[in-house]
Amino acid sequence: MATFDNSDSSLKSATHLAASEESVDQGNLFLRACRGEGVERPPIWLMRQAGRYQPEYRELRKKHSFLELCQTPELAAQVSLIPFRYFPADAAIIFSDLLVPLLAMGVEIEYRDGGPEIHSPLRSPDGIRKLSSATFSTDQTPIASAIRQLRLHLPPETPIIGFAGAPYTLASYLVEGGGSSHFSHIKEMIYSHPMPYTLLCQKLVAAIADFLSVQIEAGTHAVQIFDTWAGHLSPEDYRNHALPPLQRLIERVKGRHPSVPVIYYVNGIAHLIADAAQSGADVLSCDWRANLEEVRKRIPRTIALQGNLDPALLLGSLENLASRAQALLNQMAPGGRYIFNLGHGILPSTPVESAQFLVKLVRDWQRG
């Protein structure tokens, strides 16, 4: 394991950071693809490329809780770096969790094997009014320190991706008390109590925008917004209730950091593509149920695409994985404006060798 220290304010650290920023900014492949520019091959990174499928991560989890890994800068940076022992991804994503900003809003969260649980779901107007606002600073926010420490140990040309949950997804967690198969509580609020829902989204937009801005100011070169639960909405409900706060969020982030690409991911996006393309994001990231060739026809050419290999393919034979990945590359890579990724995060039972194989296959791709 690499040893991380907290000396990122030293002259050596500052020099390294400056050199790294210069290296990343000089026509970086991933950033060019995010901006919709021509690239010689698709860049590749993998959602959850640091996580439970790696033995080093499992060893750390024996000693530390999941929240400790997220909230301890040295540990978060250490976990974020693990993938680079196995494969040269074209970007690193900081290790954290979608719900971390809610902790600063006074929300109590317990992480169990079945997922996060919120002890006091917000199901009344009074509860939403009492929800604390949150602001973040680069000096005191753990993820900012983790990003600075990660920068010191990454290859200097490798960009870092920050991330956060979308307003609707975080609102769903807060109202449901965790994940859900039916989302009846959040939908009941939307349909019966739209004003409290609007207030909740206002508070979330402010907090998430601040949380993403802190990550950018700490050294991330792009940010991804995860809308894990928006795919459960009908197109009409998405347009009316999930898209407007998302647009305000991206507008705020872009207002502060206009040159930083924003990636937007929806799990279950197929029926929402035309609306999601109105979010203001630079890159639309799709799950494996969407046909990217059809998506490309339905969105503006200025928007880049990311995705969308089924992560379960990494559990099968390398021959089948190669065939399916090559087909996706042949379909999407020649048109450019494309970032290779999975359609969801890497599954815990994935062999590390399969991730290695996939990254090498994409990085070796050449135009015919």
Which of the residues are catalytic? 48, 52, 61, 97, 173
DSSP-derived secondary structure for 190-232:
HHH-HHHHHHHHHHHHHHHHHHHHHHHHHT-SEEEEEETTGGG
Distance CA 326, CA 296 (A): 18
| Residue tagged 């999930």 (tokens) | 242
Burial 27-61 (b: 16+ CB within 10 A, else e): ebbbbbbbbbeebebbbbbbbbbbbbbbebbeebe
DSSP-derived secondary structure for 328-341:
HHHHHGGG-SEEEE
Q: Which tokens is 36 given?
A: 């919709």
Give residue 48's region: left, alpha or beta (phi > 0; psi -120 to 50): left
Cα-Cα-Cα-Cα dihedral of 293, 298, 303, 308, to 10°? Answer: -40
**Residue 49 identity:** Q
Distance CA 225, CA 165 (A): 5
Strand residues in the chain grouped as ranges (E): 92-93, 109-112, 115-118, 160-165, 222-227, 262-266, 283-286, 304-309, 338-342
Distance CA 169, CA 133 (A): 18
Distances (CA, A) of 29 to 44, 170, 297, 364: 10, 31, 24, 14
Distance CA 292, CA 289 (A): 9
